[in-house]
Amino acid sequence: MSDLFASSVPDDVQRRRPLADRLRPQTLGDVTGQGHLTGEDGALRRMIDSGSLGSMIFWGPPGTGKTTVARLLSGEAGLAFEQISAIFSGVADLKKVFEAARARRMSGRQTLLFVDEIHRFNRAQQDSFLPVMEDGTVILVGATTENPSFELNAALLSRARVLTFKPHDEDSLAELLARAEAAEGKPLPLTDEGRASLARMADGDGRAVLTLAEEVWRAAREGEIFDTEGLTRIVQRRAPVYDKGQDGHYNLISALHKSVRGSDPDAALYYLARMFDAGEDPLYLGRRLVRMAVEDIGLADPQALVVCNAAKDAYDYLGSPEGELALAQACVYLATAPKSNAVYTAFKAATRAAKENGSLLPPKHILNAPTKLMKGEGYGDGYRYDHDEPDAFSGQDYFPEKMGRQTFYDPPERGFEREIRKRLDWWSKLRREREGR
C-alpha cells in the first residue's frame, strides 16, 4: 500500500517530519495496541472482510490511533476519505461535504467521513448527520475522547456502533519505541529504568511516547545515557490525561469513593494523589470526602463527619500544599472506619414513603392545640411527655394513622451503630410491654 500520510517531497524533508508522523502505520495490521479492533479477529477486520462497513464512533484517549485507523479503513474498503474537525467546522462546511459525497455516490463511490472531536458539535449539528447516514450518502466515523453516552445524541448513537480504543499498555509502547529505534538506526540513550519512566510519562499515548523519544535523542550528547532523574531534567513531564469536567474526572472520583467504601486506604490515597497531581480543586475533594462520611460510614463512626469537616477547614486555613495533608488524613480515616449505609438507605426509604403516601396528617395526639377549636378537635389529646415516663420513653406511635408504624433505619452490628442497635432493641421491648398492658 502507498504511504497515505507522506507527501511527494524530497527525502531530506521527509526525514525532518516529526517521528510520530513518519511512523504512522501503513496497514491496519501495523496498528499497535488495538488488536481487539484491527487484529485478524478484530471488529474492524471482520467488517472489512464481510464488506459491510457501517457508521461508527471511535471512543478513546488521545494518541491511540483513531484518526490513523479511520484513514486506513477508508483505503482498505476502497472509500473516498473526507476529514473535518468539529472544532473548526460549522453547518456550511458540513453541507459542502455532504454535497461532495452525494456527487461521488452518483458515480458509484461511497465516502467515509471522519469527524474529529465529534462531541464538540451541538445537538442540531449532530442531527444533521442522520439523513446522510440513513440514505448511505456517507459512512460516518466520529472520534471522541469523551463518553459518547453523555456527549452524543441518542439518535446518532442508535445509528452508529461505538468502538473503544484502549490506552497503549507497556507492551505496545515498547513496540513503538522499538520501531522508532529501527527508523532512527540507533538505540535510545536510556537505562532500563529511564526507558520505563519514559513509557510512564507517555500515559498510554502513542504519539506522546514517540515525541518524548525524539526529545531524548535531540538532548543527548555523545555517549550520554539517561536514567530516570536525567530524563526528568531533559524533558518536560507530560500532564496526566485528566479533564476536570469530563470522563477522567468522574472515573477517578468514582475510584476514590469505591476505594474508601472498600476499606482500602492505600488505593484511596493513590487516587486522591492522582487527582491532586492533575490539578483538581482540593475543596471539591473535601466536599466529596464529607459525602463519603455520611453515605458510607454514617453512624457507624459519627466522628467521620467531624473529621472531614475539620479537614476542609484545615485546608481553608493552611492552603496548598500543607492543607492537602489534612484531606489525606481524612481520606485514610474514612477508609479505615467501620462502614454503614444504614442512614443513607433509611433516608431513601423514608423519602420514597413520603412521596407515596401524600400529605397525611400526623396523629392528633402529637399536634399542638394553640386554639380552642383545635383543642375541641382533639389536637394534643392523649399525648404523653416522654421525660415524665419511666425510662423517659412513652412508646407512643408517631406515624400517621393510615400508615401505621414503619421501620426505615436498621443499624448493623458494626462500630457505634452496635450501641444504637442495643438502644432500639431496648425501646422496642419497652414498647411491646406497654402496648400489652
Query: pTM surpassing 0.85?
Result: no
- Reported as a single tens digit per residue, the pLDDT across 273-316 is 999 888 888 989 999 999 999 999 999 999 999 999 999 999 98
- Reported as a single tens digit per residue, the pLDDT across 410-431 is 999 999 999 999 999 999 999 8
pLDDT at 2: 38
d(CA 117, CA 67): 10
Instruction: Find the mean pLDDT for residues 352-377.
Output: 87
* Residue 353: Cβ within 10 Å count: 13
pLDDT at 91: 84
Q: Give burial (CB, 10 Å; 0-12/13-18/19+) of 165.
A: buried
Instruction: Find the mean pLDDT for residues 57-71.
Output: 93
CATH level 2 (architecture), domain 170-234:
Orthogonal Bundle (1.10)
Instruction: Delimit the domains of the chain by residue range.
Output: 11-164, 170-234, 247-336, 361-435
pLDDT at 8: 53
d(CA 206, CA 20): 8
pLDDT at residue 3 greater than cutoff 50 = no
CB of 97 closer than 8 Å to CB of 67: no
Q: What would the grid cell of residue 247 be?
A: 470522563
pLDDT at 14: 57
- Reported as a single tens digit per residue, the pLDDT across 18-59 is 888 899 999 998 999 999 999 988 999 999 988 888 999 999
Which range (7-11, 214-218, 257-261, 393-397) has the least confidence? 7-11
> How sure is the predictor about 264, in pLDDT bands with cuts at 50, 70 and 90?
very high
Higher-pLDDT residue of 143, 3? 143
Topology of 11-164 in CATH? Rossmann fold (3.40.50)
Residue of 164, 197, 179 lying closest to 20 (CA atoms) = 179
CB of 206 closer than 8 Å to CB of 175: no
The C-alpha angle 129, 132, 135, rounded to 5 degrees, equals 145
Tell me the one-letter amino acid at 175. Answer: E
- Reported as a single tens digit per residue, the pLDDT across 141-170 is 999 988 898 889 999 999 999 999 999 998
pLDDT at residue 139 greater than cutoff 90 = yes
Instruction: Find the mean pLDDT for residues 356-385.
Output: 87
Instruction: Find the mean pLDDT for residues 261-266.
Output: 95
d(CA 39, CA 22): 22
pLDDT at 18: 87
Instruction: Find the mean pLDDT for residues 207-229.
Output: 91
pLDDT at 5: 44
Instruction: Find the mean pLDDT for residues 94-100.
Output: 93
Could you check whether the bond before residue 321 is cis, i.e. omega within 30 degrees of 0? yes
Q: What would the grid cell of residue 111 be?
A: 465516502
pLDDT at 4: 45
Whether CATH 1.10.10 fits 361-435: no
Q: Spell out the CATH class of 247-336.
A: mainly alpha
pLDDT at 232: 86
| 142, containing H or E segment | strand 138-144
Residue of 329, 304, 301 lying closest to 315 (CA atoms) = 329
Instruction: Find the mean pLDDT for residues 92-102.
Output: 92
pLDDT at residue 199 greater than cutoff 80 = yes
Beta bridge partners of 162: 57
Which range (57-66, 260-269, 359-368) has the least confidence? 359-368
pLDDT at 204: 87
pLDDT at residue 7 greater than cutoff 60 = no
Residue of 427, 386, 430 lying closest to 407 (CA atoms) = 427
pLDDT at residue 101 greater than cutoff 80 = yes
| 418, containing H or E segment | helix 417-435
Which range (176-190, 341-355, 374-388) has the least confidence? 374-388
Q: What integer best gives the mean pLDDT of the chain?
A: 89
d(CA 12, CA 9): 8
Residue percentage of the chain with pLDDT more than 90: 58
Higher-pLDDT residue of 6, 22? 22
d(CA 47, CA 34): 15
pLDDT at 269: 96
Instruction: Find the mean pLDDT for residues 111-134.
Output: 92
Residue of 380, 360, 384 lying closest to 370 (CA atoms) = 380
Distance, first Cα to last Cα, the chain: 94
SS (H, E, C) 255-321: HHHHHHHCCCHHHHHHHHHHHHHCCCCHHHHHHHHHHHHHHHHHHHCCHHHHHHHHHHHHHHHHCCC
pLDDT at 158: 92
d(CA 190, CA 217): 10
Please report the DSSP string for 341-379 in residue order.
Answer: -HHHHHHHHHHHHHHHH-SPPPPGGGS---SHHHHHTTT
